[in-house]
Amino acid sequence: MIGTETPAHHGHVIPHMKHWIRQILFGAMVVTGLLLIARPAPALSFGEARHLLARTGFGLPAPAEISEIKGYDRATAVDHLLDTVRHGPLVSPPAWIEEHAPPAKQRKTWTHQAKQAFNKRNRERWRELQHWWTREMLETPSPLTERLVLFWHNHFTSSFDAVKWVPYLYAQNAQFRRHGMGDFKTLLRAMVTDPAMLFFLDGRRNRSKSPNENFARELLELFTLGEGRGYTERDIQEAARALSGWSVKPETSKPVLWPKHHDAGEKTIFGQRGYFGADDVVSIILRQPAVARHLAERFHAAFIGGQADAVTINAAAAAFRQSGYRIRTLIRSLLLSDAFWALENRGTMIKSPVDLVVGLGRLSGWQGEMKLLVNRMSGMGQKLLRPPNVKGWPGGLAWITSVSLTARGGFVYSMTKVLGRSGGSGGNMMANAMGNGMQAIMAGPKRAPAETAAIVLAVPPVRPVALDKLSPAAHLTALFRDPAFQMK
Amino acid sequence: MDLTRRHLLAAAAATPFALAARSGLAADPWRRTVVLVELNGGNDGLNTVIPYADPLYRSLRPKLAVPRDQILTLDEHLGLHPKLERLMPLWIDGQMAIALGVGYPNPNLSHFRSIDIWETATEAERFAEDGWIVRLLKESRPAASLPAEGVVLGRNDPGPLSGEGARIVALRRLKALRKRNRKPLVENIGTANPGLAHVVDIQNRMDIAERRLVERNLQAVALPGEFPKHDFGQQMEIAARLIAGGTGVPVIKCALGGFDTHGSQLYKHPKLLDQLAESLGAFSRAMKSAGLWDRVLVMTYAEFGRRPHENASGGTDHGTAAPHFLLGGRVRGGFYGEQPPLDRLQAKNLARRLDFREIYAAVARDWWGLKADFLKARALPLIS
């Protein structure tokens, strides 16, 4: 039984790591040692280590990743994951992200053909950016980083449907990576005048003489307070006035405030009166206690799932607020909560399409085109950089419909077809593009069937298999194709 | 709902002969089909059923007003957008009802909350888990021999069909119905892990429904004329095949997206109305030629209408009341309710003239013969 294995041998793991990781680990170990003297905290079991990595990554950690953190106690392991979050991409983004959008005046002179060519190139760039991001998810040494970027993409949504100039979508994605684990105030302030957001929710069309409330409404309803949490229609209208006049300067791709379109009059928001602008709106909103609560609930849904209990949410919200909105504090509180580790909460979340595809992609050491993976995600209902609406992907049970489940089954089938065959020969395009990760699971130390299941699945398989009749490869294939593989 | 042996037995007992199954269902209230068409994003009612005779229409819509000479006259006050021309034959034949000023008290302008209210049929201040169709299914269940109780086409959101216990299949393409035999169904795994139970449940339902739909060979069903190739046209084609193929599915949900026209409405909205009318026109032709038009009811719905004042982006913001359409051989054509007056707006929006639950009540009681007490509304006399 894996859960009762002795703690990992650090000396075995460390020589394979980069120098700086080793240093951090060494520091962490010293701290762990000191903590152990004060109050011994038990090392993670295999199942706990897998759970932490599955929930903070893409649902399917590799055995080596599990071994790496297995010797730590909970706090050390969580801090290790939080401390190694990155703030920039590993994979170089496309060169065109530096380009500026052609100004409207220029575009008005274009022929029909020129417009069509422009639209076509934008679509290609959107796909290219999806491929770039997927590659980053596959290659990053910190899956949590990209999980956070995806979390924020699903929170401060923007879609290619409304943001046709793709460099704006990249810039927003970079903001999520830069500030995603930092200061929520900074992130929120950036989003209020973010170019992609100004397009997506019509902020650039919100002018003093003709207010457009779209962004102000979602700012309160989805991004900060939560639906129906203590704001009125009047607050929305007044916030829209305070946010009026912002647009994107095409020459710089930066937000700009046009004074002639800004409503400089007095506004009343949440009972406060003043000649408010964008910064004031952010400050006033952040004084509302509902914000910390709403964000705690959103992160709870992303990392713990299921019905949120008041104790966990209150503790996380209070810590978040007291820290001055440090996102790290909020996530740390949730990842160290009893609810996160409770046995009954493990293996209970349905993997998102990104989890399913990137998880298997990382495990297999995918060598093929990103296009193949991105197309599969789309078929399962998750088009990166194109969420269904401003509320993002609903997630949870909604991921599973007969259509999406068929697409999921097809993907897993393609990815596991190669198992039990020598090399990739005879496999399909997907199977041929896989590295040796799958074989590595099989070629590793000889394992009991239950141990193999504990690596591949978060919960025991629901389809009984006749183990005595199956080869190890066929058993592994059956595990990947079991409904339990949809869970993390 | 757990799909255990009982359902397997029912599935095995289901006869592959559609006619035999149909005659056995004669007393089943669910034998008639409703096709729900969601106008996703909130349709601009004022540019759909147009109060052309009211001079305020033009002053509220300096850029967006449809020119008088293009409007299709319905009566001396109201007309249809020109792109809805393909619906005119149904109007003239008295097979299209237009419910005017449809909304609910204390309107909510959030897409998500408002569509929730429509889909669960609750008051704006109350919340319900189940969609209104699922609530009806709790009153009376269709025969277990039906391949599914509802089919969701297009956008993956089941809407009124979401909730506990309904046998729902989501279909994008008929090709998704695969013939290969699946592994045996998984036994009921209990409720300790609701997520996993959901996956297993959907997998089982899908396997059962697919086995049954495959038997119907829907791709071979002959339909007169062509359906449009765009996504909504394809949804209506699958709906037509499901009905003409004798599957007996009582509820089919379709969706046409893109109605959230905050900007560039002059370009976007006519295209959407064109897709809508073109597809519904093809659908009604197909049903008539199959002799099934009397057994089908099509109804549109959306989270809200849009604001009467156009905005500076050439669009319209979230509004409240809007007109909706009901089509079918047994629909009593004509207007219901009345056009909300443009000179008496409420908080800049149109005042409601009908409650959407009055339409639902007509569908539940006069179409399906159910009680539907939870609707707490009188039924409009929409159905003959």
Of A350, A391, A487, the CB nearest to B112: A391
Of B110, B168, B178, the CB nearest to A227: B110
- Cβ(A372)–Cβ(A429) below 8 Å: yes
Confirm or reject contact between A459 and chain B (CB < 8 A): yes
φ, ψ at A219 (rounded to 5°): -55, -45
Amino acid letter for position B50: I
What distance in Å separates the CA atoms of residue B106 and residue B117, rounded to the nearest whole number? 11
* A205 to B200: CB separation less than 8 angstroms, yes or no: no
Which residues in chain A land under pLDDT 50?
1-15, 422-427
Alpha carbon of B308: minimum distance to chain A alpha carbons (Å)? 14
Confirm or reject contact between B209 and chain A (CB < 8 A): yes
Among B57, B40, B43, B105, smallest CA distance to B339 is for B57
Rg over CA atoms, chain B: 21
Q: What share of chain B is helix, strand, coil (3-state, %, to 5)?
A: 40, 15, 45
* B193 to A403: CB separation less than 8 angstroms, yes or no: no
What is the pLDDT at residue A358? 97
Q: How far apart are the first and last CA of chain B?
A: 35
- For A205, which residue in chain B has the nearest alpha carbon? B313
Residue A169: which H helix or E strand, with range? Answer: helix A166-179
Strand B79-80 to strand B49-50: parallel, antiparallel, or no bridges (unpaired)? antiparallel
- Cβ(A121)–Cβ(A86) below 8 Å: no
- For A200, which residue in chain B has the nearest alpha carbon? B262
Residues 6 or more apart in contact with residue A105 via CB below 8 angstroms: none
Confirm or reject contact between B222 and chain A (CB < 8 A): no
The mean per-residue pLDDT over the stretch B132-144 comes to 91
φ, ψ at B76 (rounded to 5°): -75, -5
Alpha carbon of B365: minimum distance to chain A alpha carbons (Å)? 30
The mean per-residue pLDDT over the stretch B241-264 comes to 93
Confirm or reject contact between B20 and chain A (CB < 8 A): no
What distance in Å separates the CA atoms of residue A56 and residue B308, rounded to the nearest whole number? 47
- Please spell the DSSP secondary structure of B234-269, one letter per residue: HHHHHHHHHHHTT---SEEEEEEE----SS-HHHHH
Banded pLDDT at B313 (limits 50, 70, 90): confident
Query: How far from the centroid of its chain's Cα atoms is residue B290's Cα?
Result: 21
* B262 to A459: CB separation less than 8 angstroms, yes or no: no
- Long-range CB contact pairs, A135-138, < 8 A, 24+: A135/A91, A135/A370, A136/A89, A136/A90, A136/A91, A137/A58, A137/A354, A137/A358, A137/A361, A137/A362, A138/A358, A138/A361, A138/A362, A138/A366
What distance in Å separates the CA atoms of residue B364 and residue A339, rounded to the nearest whole number? 43
- Give counts: helices (H), strands (E), chain B: 10, 12
Amino acid letter for position A165: W
What is the pLDDT at residue B15? 37
- Please spell the DSSP secondary structure of B128-191, one letter per residue: -SS-HHHHHHHH-PPPTTSS-SEEEESSS--GGG-STT--EEEES-GGGS--SPPPPPPPP--S
What distance in Å separates the CA atoms of residue B143 and residue A409, rounded to the nearest whole number? 30
- Long-range CB contact pairs, B121-128, < 8 A, 24+: B121/B356, B121/B357, B121/B360, B121/B374, B121/B375
What is the pLDDT at residue B35? 98
Q: Which residues of B touch A396 (CB under 8 A)?
A: 195
* B209 to A221: CB separation less than 8 angstroms, yes or no: no
pLDDT at B262 over 50: yes
* A402 to B109: CB separation less than 8 angstroms, yes or no: no
Confirm or reject contact between A486 and chain B (CB < 8 A): yes
What is the pLDDT at residue B235? 95
Confirm or reject contact between A202 and chain B (CB < 8 A): yes
Alpha carbon of A293: minimum distance to chain B alpha carbons (Å)? 20
What distance in Å separates the CA atoms of residue A185 and residue A330, rounded to the nearest whole number? 13
- For A463, which residue in chain B has the nearest alpha carbon? B186
Strand B96-103 to strand B334-336: parallel, antiparallel, or no bridges (unpaired)? parallel
Q: Which residues of A touch B154 (CB under 8 A)?
A: none
Confirm or reject contact between A106 and chain B (CB < 8 A): no
Among B287, B297, B276, B306, smallest CA distance to B359 is for B297
Alpha carbon of A33: minimum distance to chain B alpha carbons (Å)? 37
Of B172, B196, B210, the CB nearest to A487: B196
* B202 to A405: CB separation less than 8 angstroms, yes or no: yes
- Please spell the DSSP secondary structure of B186-208, one letter per residue: PPP--SSSHHHHHHHHHHHHHHH
Summarised one tens digit per residue, pLDDT across range B7-61 is 443 444 443 333 333 333 345 778 899 999 999 999 999 999 999 999 999 999 9
Q: Higher-confidence residue: B372 or B216? A: B372
Strand B296-301 to strand B33-40: parallel, antiparallel, or no bridges (unpaired)? parallel
Alpha carbon of A381: minimum distance to chain B alpha carbons (Å)? 8
Among A221, A276, A214, A277, smallest CA distance to A246 is for A277
The mean per-residue pLDDT over the stretch B142-147 comes to 86
What is the pLDDT at residue B181? 43
What is the pLDDT at residue A57? 98
Confirm or reject contact between B171 and chain A (CB < 8 A): yes
Q: Which residues of B touch A235 (CB under 8 A)?
A: none
Summarised one tens digit per residue, pLDDT across range B212-225 is 877 788 888 999 88
The mean per-residue pLDDT over the stretch B244-265 comes to 93
Query: Would you tell me which residues 393-422 of chain A have a C-beta closer than 8 angstroms to some C-beta of chain B?
Result: 396-398, 400-406
* Complex-level ipTM: 0.87
What distance in Å separates the CA atoms of residue B135 and residue B164, rounded to the nearest whole number? 9
Tokens of A315: 């503790």
- For A405, which residue in chain B has the nearest alpha carbon? B203
| Best to test chain A binding among B157, B203, B316, B349 (most A CBs inside 10 Å) | B203
Tokens of A347: 């293996």
pTM value > 0.95: no
Summarised one tens digit per residue, pLDDT across range B15-24 is 333 333 333 3
What is the pLDDT at residue A249? 95
* Burial class of A106 by CB neighbour count within 10 A (0 to 12, 13 to 18, 19+): exposed
Q: Which residues of B touch A306 (CB under 8 A)?
A: 194
C-beta neighbour count of B271 within 10 angstroms: 12
Of B195, B202, B347, the CB nearest to A349: B195
Strand B33-40 to strand B334-336: parallel, antiparallel, or no bridges (unpaired)? unpaired
DSSP state of A94: P
Record: fold of B5-162+227-375: Alkaline Phosphatase, subunit A (3.40.720)
* B312 to A210: CB separation less than 8 angstroms, yes or no: yes
Q: Which residues of B touch A228 (CB under 8 A)?
A: 113
What distance in Å separates the CA atoms of residue B145 and residue B131, rounded to the nearest whole number? 23
| Best to test chain A binding among B61, B63, B202, B267 (most A CBs inside 10 Å) | B202
Alpha carbon of B189: minimum distance to chain A alpha carbons (Å)? 8
Of A214, A305, A404, the CB nearest to B262: A214
Contacts A–B by Cβ distance under 8 A: 108
Residue A13: which H helix or E strand, with range? Answer: helix A10-13
φ, ψ at B301 (rounded to 5°): -155, 165
Q: Which sequence spans correspond to the domains of chain B?
A: 5-162+227-375
Alpha carbon of A323: minimum distance to chain B alpha carbons (Å)? 32
Confirm or reject contact between A221 and chain B (CB < 8 A): yes
The mean per-residue pLDDT over the stretch B267-272 comes to 97
Alpha carbon of A389: minimum distance to chain B alpha carbons (Å)? 9
What distance in Å separates the CA atoms of residue B76 and residue B214, rounded to the nearest whole number? 50
Tokens of A454: 């504990």
Alpha carbon of A372: minimum distance to chain B alpha carbons (Å)? 19
Handedness of CA B286, B291, B294, B296 (dihedral sign): negative
The single residue listed with the structure tokens 């022929």 is: A111
- For A208, which residue in chain B has the nearest alpha carbon? B312
Provide the Cα torsion B159, B161, B162, B164; round to 10°: 170
- Cβ(A481)–Cβ(A369) below 8 Å: no
Summarised one tens digit per residue, pLDDT across range B55-110 is 999 999 999 999 999 999 999 999 999 999 999 999 999 999 999 999 999 999 88
Summarised one tens digit per residue, pLDDT across range B156-206 is 677 898 776 677 787 777 776 654 445 667 777 777 899 999 999 888 877
Q: What is the mean pLDDT of chain B?
A: 88
What distance in Å separates the CA atoms of residue A464 and residue A481, rounded to the nearest whole number? 12
What is the pLDDT at residue A235? 96
Alpha carbon of B199: minimum distance to chain A alpha carbons (Å)? 7
- Cβ(A340)–Cβ(A334) below 8 Å: yes
User: Looking at chain B, how many residues does it have?
Assistant: 384
Alpha helices for A180-304 (secondary structure H): 184-192, 195-200, 214-218, 233-242, 278-286, 290-303
What is the pLDDT at residue B218? 87
The angle formed by the CA atoms of residues B132, B138 and B144, to the nearest 5 degrees, is 115
Tokens of A175: 């903001």
Of B113, B262, B263, the CB nearest to A227: B113
Confirm or reject contact between B94 and chain A (CB < 8 A): no
Q: Higher-confidence residue: A365 or B309? A: B309
What is the pLDDT at residue A230? 86
Q: Which residues of B touch A229 (CB under 8 A)?
A: none
